[in-house]
């Protein structure tokens, strides 16, 4: 839970971007009511955010960052050096992406759509805050090919935590000196290593024969 000091600091930054946007001559005006509609919340919810009483969820934080064209790390943390970024003529830059937290412990996947890569960034503090996870030991790799379609597509970026097999789920594995994403389940004393694309048949392997690198946590994919 976000403490009151951080909620109030976020409220100040939200007021700042809202006021700056209202005073801009080359940007369309955006009322608090319109912001509420864009975030699919009530006007009362916006009022509580501005008062520092409550705090948006990650999906709405990402929407706010995109709407006002500021960096998510600045909006959340007020990081020094992370200045407001209002492109001239309202032009947007970056790649439209979907940020997906893979299911852990029986939970379902969480999707955050229409993010701009420069807005989201891969800021260490932002990721730690939302993932509730230290990032020092996390690793990234890029998907190659269509074996895991539709879960992950070619060029998606996968984050994984190095470790051994613990429960059924998505893992990073080494296949012919390339890191791949695969779904792994325990069947008896063997592991079933499967791709989500039905054109790729599953394989049954002993644990010692599988180069398992770690549990997949999230991905960033183009949409």
- Omega prior to 150 cis, within 30 of 0: yes
102 sits in the region (left: phi over 0; alpha: psi -120 to 50; else beta) called: beta
Same domain, 75 and 14: yes
Over range 188-195, report the average pLDDT.
Answer: 93
The long-range contacts involving 58-65, CB below 8 angstroms and separated by at least 24 positions, are 58/110, 58/112, 58/130, 59/112, 62/99, 62/112, 62/115, 62/119, 62/120, 63/38, 63/39, 63/114, 64/14, 64/17, 64/35, 64/39, 65/119, 65/120
Q: Check whether 162 has a pLDDT greater than 80.
A: yes
CB 82 within 8 A of CB 74: yes
Higher pLDDT, 58 or 152: 152
How sure is the predictor about 119, in pLDDT bands with cuts at 50, 70 and 90? very low
Specify the pLDDT at position 126: 57
Measure the CA–CA gap between 108 and 54, rounded to whole angstroms. 25
Specify the pLDDT at position 147: 94
Same domain, 34 and 82: yes
pLDDT tens per residue, range 49-96: 999 998 888 778 878 887 887 776 677 776 543 333 333 333 333 334
Coil, strand, or helix at residue 170?
Answer: strand
Q: pTM for this one?
A: 0.52
pLDDT tens per residue, range 5-52: 878 888 999 998 888 877 765 666 678 888 898 888 999 999 999 999
Q: Which domain holds residue 91?
A: 4-105+110-123+125-129
When mean pLDDT is compared across 132-136, 172-176, 219-223, the lowest value belongs to 132-136
Instruction: Count CA atoms within 13 Å of residue 191 on its CB side.
Output: 22
Helices (DSSP H) in 52-123: which residue ranges? 58-67, 72-77, 117-120
CB 97 within 8 A of CB 66: no
Instruction: Count CA atoms within 13 Å of residue 32 on its CB side.
Output: 13
Q: Which of 64-68, 116-120, 179-183 has the highest mean pLDDT?
A: 179-183
Same domain, 94 and 144: no
Same domain, 141 and 69: no
Over range 113-121, report the average pLDDT.
Answer: 39
Same domain, 114 and 192: no
The domain that holds 195 is classified in CATH as: 2.10.109.10
The domain that holds 29 is classified in CATH as: 1.10.260.40
Measure the CA–CA gap between 10 and 15, rounded to whole angstroms. 9
Same domain, 156 and 65: no
Q: Check whether 134 has a pLDDT greater than 70.
A: no
Same domain, 62 and 96: yes
Over range 166-194, report the average pLDDT.
Answer: 90
Same domain, 95 and 32: yes
Specify the pLDDT at position 191: 94
Same domain, 82 and 191: no
Specify the pLDDT at position 197: 95
Same domain, 212 and 189: yes
Higher pLDDT, 156 or 85: 156
Specify the pLDDT at position 86: 34
Same domain, 100 and 176: no
CB 85 within 8 A of CB 45: no
Query: How many domains in the chain?
Result: 2
Measure the CA–CA gap between 206 and 173, rounded to whole angstroms. 14
How sure is the predictor about 1, in pLDDT bands with cuts at 50, 70 and 90? very low
Provide the total of helices (H) and of strands (E) in the chain, helices listed first: 7, 9
| Two structure tokens written together for 12 | 């100040």
């Amino acid at each position: 839970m976000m403490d009151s000091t951080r909620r109030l600091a976020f409220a100040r930054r939200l007021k700042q971007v809202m006021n700056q946007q209202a005073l801009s001559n080359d940007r369309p005006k955006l009322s608090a009511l319109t912001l509420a509609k864009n975030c699919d919340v009530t006007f009362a919810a916006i009022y509580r955010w501005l008062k520092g009483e409550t705090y948006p969820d990650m999906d709405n934080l990402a929407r706010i960052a995109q709407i006002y064209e500021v960096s998510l790390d600045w909006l959340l943390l007020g990081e020094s050096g992370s200045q407001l970024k209002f492109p001239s003529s309202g032009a947007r830059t970056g790649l439209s992406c979907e940020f997906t937290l893979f299911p852990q412990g029986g939970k379902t996947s969480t999707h955050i759509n229409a993010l701009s890569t420069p807005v989201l960034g891969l800021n260490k503090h932002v990721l730690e805050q939302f993932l509730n996870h230290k990032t020092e030991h996390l690793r990234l790799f890029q998907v190659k090919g269509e074996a895991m379609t539709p879960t992950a597509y070619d060029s998606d970026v996968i984050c994984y935590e190095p470790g051994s097999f613990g429960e059924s789920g998505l893992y990073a594995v080494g296949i012919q000196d390339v890191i791949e994403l695969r779904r792994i389940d325990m069947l008896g004393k063997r592991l079933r290593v499967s791709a989500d694309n039905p054109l790729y048949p599953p394989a049954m392997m002993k644990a010692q024969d599988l180069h398992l690198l770690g549990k997949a946590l999230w991905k960033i994919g183009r949409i």
